[in-house]
Amino acid sequence: MMLDTARGELALAGACYAVLGSAQSSHKLEVPASQMDTPPQWPWEKNWWKPSDDKIRNLVKAGALIAAEIDRLQRKALAEPSNA
């Protein structure tokens, strides 16, 4: 049996970047993204939060992190024995 220690951190990190990109797209930010504090939901060390002032770049990061979580879940499912 494989021990899975991932708790959805990739998806959560992607969500943080997606929310930021959305706020940038709707012009709801009062300061540049690069000067913002780390979101409280950020799953890793604060120094790993690297927002961009470019909203597209933040959405690209969000998509990449979410795609990585999907890939991780698919690999996990393939590695598990079938319950059939």
Residues 46-84 pLDDT 10s? 999 999 999 999 999 999 999 999 999 999 999 988 755
Using alpha carbons, list the distances in angstroms from residue 66 to 1, 20, 27, 36: 25, 15, 24, 22
Summarize pLDDT for 26-52 with one digit per residue, the tens: 887 888 998 999 999 999 999 999 999
Domain boundaries, the chain: 9-39+53-79
DSSP symbol at 41: T
How far is 13 from 39, CA to CA, in rounded Å?
Answer: 10
